[in-house]
Amino acid sequence: MSGSADRILISSEQIQKRVREMAAQIEQDYPEGPIYIVSILKGAFIFVADLVRELKRPSVRIEFMAISSYGNQKTSSGQVKVTRDLDVNIEGQQVLIVEDIIDSGVTLSYLKRLLEQRHPKSLAIATLLDKPERRLAPVDVKYIGFQIPDEFVVGYGLDYAEDYRNLGDIRVLTP
């Protein structure tokens, strides 16, 4: 599909403001100890980079996992595969999974179950975007940046067939 992404759904300024608010809430909720940020590649990389720079404590550990469920399709295949696992032990740690978007919830509900088996002290989820209308698997999300309608969005880390991740705003992709 070739399309255009002319319509801004959430501007870069709105995103930055919300990211600062989310970071302030996270600081309040985790008053001490290291926080392990588990960034889910690839989509979350820009959100994580902005979010962690708003966390002022030194002990913010930034770890990466990669999950594949979509391939180059616009809808989830329902198949979740860990393509890159953590290389640290999270047992006894405060862990925050950071995602760019929750759609069906299939990826996050799988991932949460997987990481719970590693016995972190706490495990929560932060997502920049949430599409509640699309939910198939229930998932408990502690921090949500924006709830959005069921439209295909790109930018700020989100892609369509690997394009558009570099855009600063979140835009709607139209055919």
What are the residue numbers of the active site? 103
Most distant CA pair in the chain, distance = 48
Using the rule CB under 6 A, is 169 a contact of ligand PRP? Answer: no
Which one among 67, 115, 126, 170 touches ligand PRP, defined by CB under 6 A?
A: 67
Nearest CB to ligand PRP, comparing residues 41 and 52: 41
Do the beta carbons of residue 42 and residue 159 sit within 8 Å?
yes
Do the beta carbons of residue 22 and residue 135 sit within 8 Å?
no
Phi, psi (deg, nearest 5) at residue 51: -60, -45
Which one among 76, 86, 141, 144 touches ligand PRP, defined by CB under 6 A?
A: 76
Which one among 69, 86, 114, 146 touches ligand PRP, defined by CB under 6 A?
A: 69
CA of 167: how far to CAs of 41, 73, 140, in Å?
Answer: 17, 20, 29
Using the rule CB under 6 A, is 105 a contact of ligand PRP? Answer: yes
Count the site residues for ligand PRP by CB under 6 A. Answer: 19
Do the beta carbons of residue 49 and residue 15 sit within 8 Å?
no
Q: Which residues bind ligand PRP (CB under 6 A)?
A: 40-43, 67, 69-70, 76, 99-108, 159
